[in-house]
Structure 1
Amino acid sequence: MEQRINFHEKGQGALKALYPIGAYLKKSPVEAKLRELIEFRVSQINGCAYCLDMHSKDLRAHGETEQRLYALNAWRETPFFTDRERAALAWAEAVTACKVPDEVFLKVKEHFTDEEMVDLTLSISAINTWNRFNIAFPMPSAVGTYQVGQFA
């Protein structure tokens, strides 16, 4: 696949609108490792190669295990995730699909404060947006080049 446009160069205005979301989320009470886990899972769902590379590397830097990364796609069938993580993963999948059943909401409500639920939803929305930019305007030569902390 050829690069269509370089949205990092041509979309500076749009990107300037997105960067403050990441800065806000860094101060969120939702732990960084969980947000990265959610971003990795949503990127799996959306098939975003660049984001999968980025978030797998960031997760490893946060101490995530290979076993959990490999099993994330089947998180419901494994014993590797906490109840809080399971609730967040279910929430991420539901919000990404734009179908949030009451039972998913109630499960998330058991493990997260209202503020955390809002921040978790913002994190899911943001990664969906980044996935869509990277899928609409792929940069195949950039996949695999991400270095941990590159966008800190």
Structure 2
Amino acid sequence: MRLPYVPDPPPTSTPEEAEILARVQARRGERGLLPLDRALLHSFPIANGWNTLFGAVRTQTSLSADIRELAICRVAAINGAWFEWEHHAPLLREAGMSEEGMRIIEDPKITGSEEEEGDVVGKVLNRAQRAVLRYTDAMTKTVQVPDEIFQELKECFSDKEVVEVTATVAVYNCCSRFLVALDVGEKNR
């Protein structure tokens, strides 16, 4: 970590900071504060907003676990956010992703195009997973999403789910950039 982590738990100086800390601790539960939290808690307002947004994306969307965690893991792999990968890859495995699927998601050079390697991705990932892989790649690598990739996603998901996939990819791009820039967890550089 490029900055010192705050103590666990960090001292608070106002009732508002104490409330924020309590919310972060409640979200983490028995696991306790993660290194990410101990970096964010240098700024209680940032930690508060982060906790609310990430809590919503992680636990309040209608996305299935395999779709949510595929998007998160793909962002982590593309951006080299290995702290993020280590926390979410087990969740993707728990959601039923095969080891072959995990290797595909971890390799940013595999794009999921039908022409690629005899469509190996299409043999491992279902249509919706493949659409999320390609959409996540476009959002993460170039920001602009080609119409045909957006259409693929739209054919697999409702409007609500498209918003939720998009928010998941966007939010975890934010997370990966924070983790890598500060080297949270000492795994990202």
Task: Report the counterpart of residue 19 of structure 1 in structure 2.
Answer: 51
CA distance in 2, matches of 1:23, 1:107: 28
**RMSD after superposition:** 1.7
Identity %: 26
**How big is the shift at 1:65?**
2.1
Q: Check if 1:68 corresponds to 2:108.
A: no
**How big is the shift at 1:140?**
4.2
Structure 1: 5+ residue stretches without partners: 144-152
CA distance in 2, matches of 1:11, 1:61: 33
**How big is the shift at 1:99?**
1.3
Decide which of 159, 175, 179 is 1:134's aligned counterpart: 179
Decide which of 92, 98, 114 is 2:159's aligned counterpart: 114
CA distance in 2, matches of 1:20, 1:47: 25
- The one-character-per-residue Cα deviations of 1:20-65 (angstroms, maximum 9, x if unpaired) are 2233232212112211111001111111110111111222233332
Distance 1:22 1:9, change over 3 A: closer
Decide which of 11, 35, 42 is 1:10's aligned counterpart: 42
Q: Check if 1:104 corresponds to 2:149.
A: yes
Task: Report the counterpart of residue 149 of structure 1 in structure 2.
Answer: none
**How big is the shift at 1:75?**
5.8
Provide the aligned length of Structure 1 versus Structure 2: 140
Question: Is the Cα–Cα contact under 8 Å of residues 75 and 86 in structure 1 kept in the other structure?
Answer: no
CA distance in 1, matches of 2:165, 2:145: 14
SS in 2 for 1:136: helix
Structure 1 residue identity aligned to 2:46: A
Q: Check if 1:40 corresponds to 2:73.
A: yes
Give the TM-score taking structure 2 as reference length: 0.68
Structure 1 runs of 4+ with >3 Å offset: none
Question: Is the Cα–Cα contact under 8 Å of residues 111 and 137 in structure 2 kept in the other structure?
Answer: no
Q: Check if 1:89 corresponds to 2:133.
A: yes
CA distance in 2, matches of 1:139, 1:43: 13
Question: Is the Cα–Cα contact under 8 Å of residues 40 and 46 in structure 2 kept in the other structure?
Answer: no
CA distance in 2, matches of 1:27, 1:8: 22
CA distance in 2, matches of 1:87, 1:65: 17
Q: Check if 1:52 corresponds to 2:85.
A: yes
SS in 2 for 1:10: coil
CA distance in 2, matches of 1:58, 1:75: 22
- The one-character-per-residue Cα deviations of 1:68-89 (angstroms, maximum 9, x if unpaired) are 1112223624210011111111
Structure 1 residue identity aligned to 2:165: L
The structure having more radius of gyration, on CA atoms, is: 2
